[in-house]
Amino acid sequence: MRYPQDPSTAISRRRLLIGTAFVAATIATTFSFGARPASAESVLAMHIEEQTSWVQNFNPFDLGGRRQSTMDFVYEPLVIFNDYDSGKPIFRLATGYKFSDDLKSITYTLRDGVKWSDGQPLTSADMKFTLELMLKNPAVDIVGVGGSVASVEAPSPTEVKITLKDVDTHFPESMADFPVVPEHIWKHVADPLAFKNEKPVGSGPMTEIRRFTPQVYEQCRNPNYWDAASLHVDCLKLPQISGNDQMLALLPEGSMDWIGSFLPEIDKTYVALDKDHNGYWQPPAETIAFQMNFKTVNPALAEAFNDINFRHAFSLVMDRTAMVDIAGFGYPVVNLHASGLPPRFDAWRNKAAEGDKDVWMTYDVDKANKMLDDAGYKKGADGMRTTPKGQPIAFSIIVPNGWTDWIDAVQIATEGLRKAGINASVATPEYEQWQKQILDGSFDAVMNSRADGPTPFRGYYQSLSTAFAGRITSAPSRYSNPELDKVFDAYRKATTDEERKKLFDQVQVIIADNFPVVPVFNGPTWYQYSTKRFTGWVTKDEPVMNPEDHDNNRMRLMHLLRLKPVQ
C-alpha cells in the first residue's frame, strides 16, 4: 500500500464517521445532556476507555478487567507524585512518610478521621491488610511489594511501618499505584483477583455506582469523602465508546466534558465545533515501542525474537516518519534513540548510549534484508523467511480495536516487515482482551506504551526488569537481563541524585546495546476538554500537571478536584 504524503488525505482511509448523521444522531440520543440549571446535579461526562462491551468490575487488582475509573475515583492513592512539578509529593490518604536512619524501613502516617464510603473508619489496619494480601497472593501484587517488603506492622491507627528486604529509596514512588482496600470487605473474598467488586466500598471521591448499563454507567459522590469540600462534581458519566470513530461521531452533539482520545485534525474535528468552549493540550508523552514476547511458546518466534539481529532488522523496516505523519496526523514525535528515552527526560541523556548505537533506528529496508540474509534467515518461494533453524516465521502484532491511529501505525510496521520477508500481520482484539493477552502471555508481539514517573527510572524499571516481567501491562515482553537488574537494584539503593544519574547512564547503555524493545515514537498526551459546563481545566497556559484522564495518570484525581460547574 502506498501512503499519501499529505496526512489530510488519509482521512478517507480511516473511515471517519464525522459526517455520518445517522450514527451521530443515534449516539447523541443515548448520551445527550440537556441544559442544566445552576442548582442541578453536576454531572461530568468523561471518556477514559474504549470498549465495545464491558462488565461491572471495580476490582483494583484486576488490571485486565477493571473499569478505568476504579483507581483514584474509587480508591484514593496514598501519595501522588506530580511529574510536572519535579515529582513533588501530594499527600492524600497519607499525610507523610519517613525512612528509618538505615533506610531499611519506612513509616507512613495516614490521614486521621478518613472513612470508607460505607461509613466505617479507614485505619492502618486496612493498609496492613492490603499489603499482606499482596504478599500472600502474588497475582494481585500489582506494585511489586513482594520483591521489596519483608514485613508490615500497624503500631497505631494512623501509622504503618514497612520493613524492607533491603534499602529501597525508590519505594514511595513504586507505591504510587497502590490501592488500599477495606479489610472488613475483602477479608471475606475467597479469590481477590476474580472478585468483580460490583458495588465497591472505597475511599475516593466517586464510589457510588448509581447506574451501570451496556451503554453507560454513572459513578457518583462518596457520601463520606474526607475531602468533600474540594469536590464540586456530583457524578461521573462514562458512556461506552468503542473507538476513535465513534468518538468523532459523538463530538457534534457537544455532550462530552473531559476526553482522552485520538482526534485527527483536531482543530477541524473538535475545536471548530465550538470555538468558544472546546480546547486541547497534547504535549509529548511516553515512548511507544514494539515489544516481542520473549517467553512465547512458539519455537520459531522464540528463536527469532531472542536474536538481536532479528530485532535490529525489525527496527530498520519501521517507517517512523509515516507512523507519525500518516497514522498519527503529526501529533507524535519520532524517537530515534535505541534507549527509547522520552523527550521530556532530555537532561538524563547519556551520549554514550547514542551515536553508533542508534544506527538501527533509521529506515533502511535494504540493510534489514542484508542483515537477515547474513544471519541465516532464508526466504522461501513465497518470499517469506524462516529462522536459521529452518522454522517458518509468522506472527501477529496486537493492537486494541478502535485505536485507529495505533492500528494504522501497526499496519505501516507490518508492511515494512513484509518488505524484509517477515510474515507479520495485525490483530485487533477488544481493549480488555488485549490487556488480558498481555498479562497471560498469549500474544506474539504488541505495540505498547509505558507509564513514566517523575524521573525516567520508573518507566524503564517497570517495563524491563525481571521483577515486573509479565506482571503489569507495561511489561509484556517478559524481558530478563541480570546485568540490567543489578543496575536497577543499585539505583533503588542510591541516596543521591548524582548516584542515580550515573546508574541511569548505565541503564541507557545496556538497553541500547541489547535492544530489548523497538522504540518508534513518543505519543502525545491525549487530552481534550470543554468549558461549556465546567471550569478549572488544566491548559497549556497553566501546565501544572499531567491533564490526561487515563488510568495511568494518578494526577487525574487532582484535576477532578479543580473542576467546578459553570454557574
Give the start-to-end residue ranges of the domains of the chain: 58-187, 214-283+528-565, 285-524
Are the C-beta atoms of residues 299 and 488 closer than 8 Å to each other?
no
Alpha helices in 255-319 (DSSP H): 266-269, 299-305, 308-316
Task: List, for residues 299-338, the tens digit of each pLDDT value.
Answer: 999 999 999 999 999 999 999 999 999 999 999 999 999 9
List phi, psi (to 5°) of 119: 95, -10
Class in CATH terms, 285-524: alpha beta
Nearest alpha-carbon partner for 513 in 367, 398, 357: 357
Record the cell numbers describing residue 227, joined without a space.
475531602
Residue-level pLDDT at 128: 98
**CATH architecture entry for 58-187:** Alpha-Beta Complex (3.90)
What pTM, to 2 d.p., does this model score? 0.89
307 Rama sector, left if φ>0, alpha if ψ -120 to 50, beta otherwise: beta
CA proximity to 545, closest of 90, 30, 66, 186: 90
Distance of CA 15 to the CA centre of its chain: 26
Identify any residues that bridge with 333 across adjacent strands, giving them in sequence order. 522
Tell me the residue type at 248: L
Each residue's pLDDT tens digit in the chain (567 positions)? Answer: 333 333 333 333 333 333 333 334 344 444 444 444 445 899 999 999 988 899 999 999 999 899 999 999 999 999 999 999 999 999 999 999 999 999 999 999 999 999 999 999 999 999 999 999 999 999 999 999 999 999 999 999 999 999 999 999 999 999 999 999 999 999 999 999 999 999 999 999 999 999 999 999 999 999 999 999 999 999 999 999 998 999 999 999 999 999 999 999 999 999 999 999 999 999 989 999 999 999 999 999 999 999 999 999 999 999 999 999 999 999 999 999 999 999 999 999 999 999 999 999 999 999 999 999 999 999 999 999 999 999 999 999 999 999 999 999 999 999 999 999 999 999 999 999 999 999 999 999 999 998 888 899 999 999 999 999 999 999 999 999 999 999 999 999 999 999 999 999 999 999 999 999 999 999 999 999 999 999 999 999 999 999 999 999 999 999 999 999 999
Give the whole-angstrom CA distance, residue 121 versus residue 112. Answer: 9
Angle between helices 365-374 and 404-419 (to 10 degrees): 60
Give the C-alpha distances (Å, rounded to integers) separating 492 from 134, 341, 504, 550.
21, 19, 11, 27
Contacts 24+ apart (CB under 8 A), 348-356: 348/455, 348/456, 348/501, 348/504, 348/508, 349/508, 350/504, 350/505, 350/508, 350/509, 352/505, 352/508, 352/509, 353/505, 353/508, 353/509, 353/511, 353/512, 354/512
Residue 39: per-residue pLDDT:
55
- Grid cell locating 105: 524501613
- Per DSSP, the three-state class of 163 is strand
Neighbours of 360 (CB within 10 A): 23
Q: Residue 317 is placed in which grid cell?
A: 523496516
Q: What is the bridge-based pairing of β-strands 564-565 and 333-334? A: unpaired
Q: Cell 507524585: give the residue.
A: 81
Q: At 158, list the grid cell.
A: 494512623
The highest-level CATH class for domain 214-283+528-565 is: alpha beta
pLDDT at 176: 94
Q: Report yes or no: 466 and 480 within 8 Å, Cβ to Cβ.
A: yes
User: Each residue of 512-546: b (16+ CB within 10 Å) or e?
Assistant: bebbbbbbbbbbbbbbbbbbbbbeebbeeeeeebb
Please state, in angstroms and rounded to a whole number, the distance separating the CA atoms of residues 351 and 339: 11
Write down how long the chain is. 567
Q: What percent of the chain has pLDDT over 90?
A: 90
